[in-house]
A and B are shown apart, each in its own frame.
Chain A
Amino acid sequence: MVTLQDLKRINDYEWEIPKSFRPDMRVPVRLFATRRMLEDVMKDKSLEQAVNAATLPGLVGNVIVMPDMHQGYGFPIGAVAATRLPDGVISPGGIGYDINCGVRLLGSHINLETAESYLDDLATALNQHCPSGVGENGVVHASEAALEAVCNQGSRWTLKQGFASEADLRRTEESGCVEGADPAKVSKRARQRGCPQLGSLGAGNHFIEIDLVEQIFDDTAASVMGLEQGTLAVQIHCGSRGFGHQICTDYVEEFQGVVQRFGIHLADRELVCAPLNSPEGQSYLAAMRCAANYAFANRQILAHSARKAFEQVLAGKLKDWHLHQVYDICHNMGKIETHIIDGERMQVCVHRKGATRAFGPGTAELPDEYKAIGQPVLVPGSMGTASWVLVGTEASMTQSFGSTCHGAGRLMSRHEAKRNVRGEKLRQDLEAGGIHIRAGSMAGLAEEAPQAYKDVNQVVEAVVGGGIAKKVARLLPLAVIKG
């Protein structure tokens, strides 16, 4: 068990569990958090899970945990770990079942004052245009051939189908398509699950939200992103649906035998992995990329649906109701990237599970318009609380493999939240606070109650204080659509 005494203070925002903490650790664990947040961190097993993750073969640098960390399975949520190529491992449990779960932000020039009377209609229209709920089918029922194209092309497929613009793709991580996907590495079951669900939100903590750009902290960056104080924005949070869940399930199962063959000893069976240069590791990487591309396409189709909803409600009433893409980020991904580690430039597989890529200014992978300001980072808060737009920094490149936090992070178990919060009462309270709610399940709503999460403002203070992100804008929720 990790205690406060086991943490070595690096500075006010960084703490370390040294490699000597447990003999099987291969690298230290670095934690970004304020002293005040550490009390909450100790309430669950997230740091133990981070220590377990630090035992994987081929790790380099540190296992990083973000201030929004919480207990997950295998890796904690909010973890970043990099393994060296070619013989380090890739672990599906270090990426998560919802492969390329992520967030998209759309900005607008719609002033709240002019649109306030339409918010309820917008919430209804978004709920109608964007299918949500458990196992719900999507806007598109893809054929087998279309699914293959989605696997290979991601958002590029949606561009050909009329769901996207070139600007949308440019302002998406990886331009909406990770190269190296291979649909042949995806099971029949995953395909069966994937075909009907394209363009759907799902359930759980996934949502679509209409926000108000409440405050700007960096005028230049906000201006480049097209974010203006007092205007509406839309966030879409979802991933690869049953397609990604099935791919992860398939490979966690397959890798149970692989670790024995490679003589890899695990602290937890959910950490199963395979060397990146093994046929099994390559197969998972290729299948995972299919799910990543599916998720990019999924969020793109939902963005198209959100635009249709805005058009339906606002066309002819407001002059400019267009929603432009600010950025689309992934927070559950495995990526081959080049980083400088201990002074050495090396190719690594960066596992981000509940952590956002946050590349700093000048990074080659960014679209031209963002090269000077750094990559936009989207940090949704809990339902009914603020969300943040940040940018990556030079320091994030050296301290956290170009990564930062991904959200508020859970504090209370779902069981406890359900016990303490009544979904219907929560809905009434949020609506009394001026937030329009559309939710498929009151039990699901209760589990996502704001009090079940950490304070996202504290999370942001910790990553900004730690130097791995900079503030650009704060958003406040006006309408929430949940499955």
Chain B
Amino acid sequence: MQPRFGFRENAHTADWELEVWAPDLACLLEQAARGMYALSGMQFKPGEAQNRIVRLHAADAEGLLVRFLTELLWLAEQQGLGFEAFSIQLDGRYNLQAELGGYAIASVDKEIKAVTYHNLQVQDTAQGLRVKIVFDV
């Protein structure tokens, strides 16, 4: 039986497709972030924990997903930070506040250029939410 939440890489000819599932949107965002980090082969440096707070708004769940992951890519490139603790609050109108705990990045295997909207659709299934995200790499 499939766990209630998680992610896996699907075949995509040129880029990366990540399939993510979770019982709710906050968990879906967290799993998508973990999946993105896993795809890029991110390794953390041992050392002092770093915390950040991210506030975002979008028109819909798909927009929030793209903005949240894009924000994490920005923090990785500009501040050299990756995160493994996520406390994500949503208000039902696609306003997000995320408290993130993580570390400085030691290395990344692969560069992700962007999070795309390609065929992006958060589907509400009997098992929870499910989405396929294509990253430009």
Contact = CB atoms under 8 A, between A and B. Distances in A.
Contacts of B41: 441, 443
Contacts of B120: 269-270
B9 A443 contact: no
Contacts of A443: 41, 109-110
Contact of B113 (A71, A77, A97, A415): A97
Contacts of B62: 269
A245 B118 contact: no
B128 interface: no
Contacts of A98: 113, 136
A98 B137 CA distance: 10
B83 interface: no
Interface in B4-23: 9-16
A387 to B, nearest CB: 19
B134 A204 contact: no
B16 to A, nearest CB: 6
A269 B110 CA distance: 25
B9 A269 contact: no
B109 A441 contact: yes
B111 A71 contact: no
Contacts of B14: 70-72, 77, 410, 414
B16 A73 contact: no
Given A73-B15, A249-B70, A193 B117 contact: no
Interface string A386-420: 00000000000000000000000011111110000
B108 interface: yes
Interface stretch (A250-258, A334-342, A375-383): A250-258
B119 interface: yes
A177 to B, nearest CB: 24
B12 A414 contact: yes
A149 B95 CA distance: 38
A415 B110 contact: no
A256 B63 contact: yes
A270 B78 contact: no
B70 A413 contact: no
A40 to B, nearest CB: 10
Contacts of A202: 111
Contact of A268 (B70, B77, B78, B119): B119
A74 interface: yes
Nearest to B105: A135
A269 B109 contact: no
A253 B66 contact: yes
Interface residues of A, number: 44
A135 B59 contact: no
Contacts of B111: 134-135, 202-204, 483
A70 B12 CA distance: 10
B11 A415 contact: yes
A444 interface: yes
Nearest to A71: B13
A349 B63 CA distance: 28
Contacts of A256: 59, 63, 117
A441 B76 CA distance: 18
Contacts of B119: 268-270
A242 interface: yes
A392 to B, nearest CB: 25
Contacts of A70: 13-14
Contact of B117 (A135, A269, A410): A269
A249 B115 CA distance: 8
A248 B114 contact: yes
B59 to A, nearest CB: 7
A189 B108 contact: no
Contacts of A257: 59
B78 A192 contact: yes
A87 interface: no
A441 B113 contact: no
A480 B120 CA distance: 36
A147 interface: no
Contacts of A268: 117-119
A4 B85 CA distance: 49
Contacts of B15: 72-73, 414
Contacts of A272: 117
Interface string B64-76: 0011001000101
Contacts of A410: 13-14
A44 interface: yes
7 contacts: A97-B113, A253-B63, A269-B117, A272-B117, A410-B14, A444-B110, A447-B110
Given A134-B40, A135-B76, A414-B16, 13 more contacts: A96-B136, A135-B111, A193-B77, A193-B78, A252-B116, A257-B59, A269-B117, A270-B119, A413-B12, A413-B13, A415-B12, A443-B41, A447-B110
Interface of B: 9-16, 40-41, 59, 62-63, 66-67, 70, 74, 76-78, 108-111, 113-120, 134, 136-137
